[in-house]
Amino acid sequence: MRAPLQFKAGRAAIELIEREGLQPENVAAIAGAAGGPKWLVLAAMDKFLFGEWLKRREAPLPLVGSSIGSWRLAAVSTADPIAAINRLERLYVEQCYSGKPSLREVTDTATRLLDALLGEQGTKEILAHPWARLHVVTAACRGWTGLDKTLPMALGFAGALLLNTVKRDWLSVFLERHVFADPRGGLAESAFPGFKTNILPLTDSNLQQSLLASGSIPFVLEAISMPGQAGRYRDGGLIDYHMDLPLSQEGVVLMPHFSKTLLPGWLDKYIGSRGMSNGANTLVIHPSDEWIATLPNQKIPDRTDFKSYRDDDVGRFRDWYNVAGRSQELADFLEERLLKQDLPDFIEPL
Say what the alpha-carbon torsion angle 317, 39, 300, 233 is, to the nearest 10 degrees: 100
pLDDT band for position 25 (cuts 50, 70, 90): very high
Q: At residue 189, does pLDDT exceed 80? A: yes
- Start-to-end CA span in the chain (Å): 22
Instruction: Give the Cα separation of 270 and 208 in Å (integer).
Output: 31
Whether residue 42 contacts residue 327, with contact meaning beta carbons closer than 8 Å, is answered with yes
What element of type H or E holds 308? helix 305-308
Average pLDDT (298-317) is 95
Mean pLDDT of 35-61: 97
Cα 85 off chain centre by: 14
Long-range contacts (CB closer than 8 Å, 24 or more residues apart) made by 269-278: 269/241, 270/161, 270/165, 271/164, 271/165, 274/168, 276/242, 276/244, 276/350, 277/244, 278/193, 278/244, 278/245, 278/246
For 49-99, how does the pLDDT look when each residue is reduced to its tens digit (9 = 90+)? 999 999 999 999 999 999 999 999 999 999 999 999 999 999 999 999 988
Q: What are phi and psi of 181, to 5 degrees?
A: -120, 145
Can you tell me the mean pLDDT for 151-166? 95
Express as a percent the part of the chain with pLDDT over 90.
89
Average pLDDT, the chain: 95
Residue 177 has pLDDT above 70, yes or no: yes
List, in order, residues 6 or more apart from 332 with CB less than 8 Å away.
none
299-304 own/partner pairs: CB under 8 Å, 24+ apart: 300/37, 300/38, 300/40, 300/41, 300/258, 300/259, 301/37, 301/38, 301/40, 302/35, 302/36, 302/37, 302/38, 303/36, 303/37, 303/220
Confidence at residue 211, expressed as pLDDT on a 0 to 100 scale: 98
How many residues comprise the chain?
Answer: 350
Q: Pairing between strand 347-349 and 224-225?
A: unpaired
Please, which contacts does 306-310 make with residues 24 or more away whose CB atoms are closer than 8 Å?
306/97, 310/99
Contact 203, 150 (CB under 8 A): no
pLDDT at position 269 is 85
| Contact status, residue 220 vs residue 103, Cβ threshold 8 Å | yes
CA-CA distance, 1 to 151, in Å (whole number)? 48
**Range 14-20 average pLDDT:** 97
Express each pLDDT in 231-282 by its tens digit: 999 999 999 999 999 999 899 999 999 999 899 999 998 887 678 889 999 9
What are the backbone angles phi and psi of residue 77, rounded to the nearest 5°? -90, 0
Across the range 96-119, mean pLDDT stands at 96
Task: Report the helix count and the strand count for the chain, using DSSP H and E.
Answer: 11, 11
Residue 258 · residue 198 · CB < 8 Å: no
Helix (H, G, I), strand (E, B) or coil at 132: strand
The whole-number pLDDT of residue 1 equals 63
- The string of pLDDT tens digits covering residues 207-221 is 999 999 999 999 999
What confidence category does residue 2 fall into, taking pLDDT thresholds of 50, 70 and 90?
Answer: confident
The DSSP secondary structure of 155-214, one letter per residue, reads: HHHHHHHHHHHH-GGGGGGTEEEEEEE-TT----GGGS-SS-EEEEE--TTTHHHHHHHH
Between strands 132-141 and 347-349, the pairing is unpaired
Name the percent of the chain lying above pLDDT 70.
99
Helix (H) or strand (E) holding 69: helix 68-76
Beta strands in the chain (DSSP E): 5-9, 27-32, 61-66, 132-141, 175-181, 197-201, 224-225, 232-235, 252-256, 282-287, 347-349
